[in-house]
Structure formats: C-alpha cells, structure tokens
C-alpha cells in the first residue's frame, strides 16, 4: 500500500553547528531586533527631515572618543571570531582566549561610552535631540550589556568543556549575536556622528 521511499541515512542528533533549531531562532531574533533599531533610526531621520538642521545641537557629538571606541568594538568582534575558529579546530585555548578578548574589549567599549555620556552637557530632557540621542545609544548599550552576558555564559560553558568541533551551537549563536550588536553600532554611529557632517 505504501511506498516506503524513506530510507534514512545517519542523521545528526541535536544541534550540530548551524543545523539546529537554535540557530534559526537566532535569525528571527536578529530580524526583530534589527527592525527595532530600524524604527529608532527612522524616528531620528523623521525629526531630521521635519526640522532640518534646527533640531541638531550647536555642537555635534565629537568623534574624539566615538571613533576609537568604534574600532574597539570591531576588534572585539574579530576576537570573538578568532575564538570561534578555535572551537572549530578543536583548539580549546584559542576558544577561551578569543571569547575573553571579546569580553574585555566589549567592557572597554561600555566604559568609554559611559564616559562619553558623562562628558555631554545636554541631557535626555533638554531637547528632542537629547531624547533621541540617549534613547538610541541607551538601547544599543542595553544590547551590548546583554551581549556581554551572553559571551560570559558561553565562556563559562566553554571552560567547563561543553563544546567540541561539532557540538558548538551556543558558541556560534552567541558570537553571531555579538556581531549583530556590533553591526548595529555601525548604523548608530553613522547616523549620529557622520550624517550631520555630510550635509
């Protein structure tokens, strides 16, 4: 009656690298979080379009801290990537050091960003620009802090020896989230620090 066309090969059990369900869940998370930042920046440009240059502060945010800080965040992504290559090669120390490097560089980014917040005279209450600036960078900071917590947990689990060449989905997922948070910063940085200088 039935055509038993199904002659299964050996199949992976549970999440192997990017083939598991968790990776697909992460893609959905990135889609919806990406949309959140799209709407944040949409709001910024809405003000920009409606009020032209009037709403910008007299002093644009300085590149002095932000530019090196951007480089630090990107380096952090590179470190995470080096760690990820480690777990794929089965090099445990490379994994641990890479994650640790990403974590430290991320923490430096947060401290510098806090300094930048303190150095700015304008407050969140002062103007729509202030409201927008602190809300967008605040949302991003919250994502950096969550990303650091994720990296920390992945580091702990790696130290406990949970991952190997194939069984490493949490490392790939945690790192991909971190790369996403860094990519969002590039969009935020470009919006607040670069675009007002262009026209």
Partner 1 sequence: MTLVETERRPEIASTATSYGRGLEQIWKTEPGIAGWISTVDHKEIGHRYIVTSFVFLILGGFEALIMRLQLARPEQHLLTPEQYNQLFSTHGMTMIFLYALPILSGFSNYLWPLIFGSRDMAFPRLNALSYWVYLASGIFMYAGFLIGAGPNDGWFNYVPYAERPYNPGLNMDFYALGMVFYGLSTTVGAANFVVTFLRMRAPGMSINRVPIMTWGTLTASAANLLVVPSVSLAFFMLWMDRQFSTHFFDVNQQGQPLLWQHLFWIFAHPWVYVVVLPAMGMVSEGLPVFCRRPLVGYTPVALSTVATMVLGFGVWVHHMFATGLPNLALSFFSSTSIMISIPSAVAVFAWIATIWLGRPVITTAFLFFASMIVLFVIGGVSGFMTGSVPVDWQLTDTYFIVAHIHYVLIGINVFPVVGAVYFWFPKMTGRLLDERLGKWNFWTMFIGFNLGFLPMHLTGLYGMPRRVYTYPAGMGWDTLNMVTSIGSLLFAIGVLLLLVNVVVSLRGGRIAGANPWDADTLEWSVSSPPPSYNFAVIPEVASRHPLWEDRLGEAANRSSVRQGLILDHGRETIVTTPLDGDLDLIAKMPEDSYSPFILTVGASAGFTGALLHWWWLAGASAAVVAGALIAWLWPRRSLAQAAGAGDD
> Footprint of partner 1 on this chain (CB under 8 A)?
1-6, 8-16, 19-21, 24-25, 28-29, 31-33, 35-36, 38-40, 42-43, 46-47, 50-51, 54-55, 90, 124-125, 127-128, 130-132, 135, 149, 153, 157, 161-167, 169-170
Residue closer to partner 1, measured from CB, 6 or 198: 6
Closest distance of CB 189 from partner 1, Å: 20
Contacts of 43 (CB under 8 A, 6+ apart): 132
Cα–Cα dist 58/164, whole Å? 54
CA distances from 78 to 100, 141, 176, 190 (A): 12, 19, 12, 20
Residue closer to partner 1, measured from CB, 72 or 126: 126
Closest distance of CB 94 from partner 1, Å: 16
Closest distance of CB 38 from partner 1, Å: 8
Residue closer to partner 1, measured from CB, 28 or 198: 28
Closest distance of CB 60 from partner 1, Å: 17
Give φ, ψ of 52 to 5 degrees.
50, -135
Tokens representing residue 84 in the block = 């990820």
Tokens representing residue 178 in the block = 């971190």
Closest distance of CB 59 from partner 1, Å: 18
Chain-centre distance for alpha carbon 160: 25
Residue closer to partner 1, measured from CB, 56 or 72: 56
- For the residues of 43-95, what is the DSSP string, one character each? HHHHHHHHHGGGGS-SSPPPHHHHHHHHHHHHHHHHHHHHHHHHHHHT-HHHH
Closest distance of CB 168 from partner 1, Å: 8
Residue closer to partner 1, measured from CB, 13 or 198: 13
Residue closer to partner 1, measured from CB, 57 or 112: 57
Which helix or strand (DSSP H or E) is residue 28 part of? Answer: helix 21-51
Tokens representing residue 162 in the block = 């949970």
């Amino acid at each position: 009656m039935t055509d038993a066309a199904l002659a299964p090969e050996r199949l992976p059990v549970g999440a192997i690298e990017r083939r598991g369900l968790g990776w697909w869940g992460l893609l959905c998370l990135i889609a919806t979080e990406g949309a959140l930042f799209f709407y944040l920046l949409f709001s910024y440009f809405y003000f920009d379009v409606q009020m032209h240059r009037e709403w910008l502060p007299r002093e644009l945010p300085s590149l002095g801290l932000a530019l090196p800080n951007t480089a630090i965040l990107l380096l952090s992504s590179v470190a995470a990537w080096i760690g990820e290559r480690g777990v794929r090669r089965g090099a445990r120390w490379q994994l641990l050091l890479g994650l640790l490097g990403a974590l430290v560089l991320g923490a430096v980014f947060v401290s510098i960003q806090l300094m930048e917040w303190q150095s700015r005279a304008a407050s969140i209450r002062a103007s729509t620009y202030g409201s927008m600036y602190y809300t967008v960078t605040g949302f991003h900071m919250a994502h950096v802090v969550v990303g650091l917590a994720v990296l920390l947990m992945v580091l702990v689990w790696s130290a406990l020896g949970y991952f190997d060449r194939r069984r490493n989905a949490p490392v790939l997922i945690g790192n991909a989230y971190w790369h996403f948070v860094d990519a969002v910063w590039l969009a935020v940085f470009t919006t607040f620090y670069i675009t007002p200088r262009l026209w």
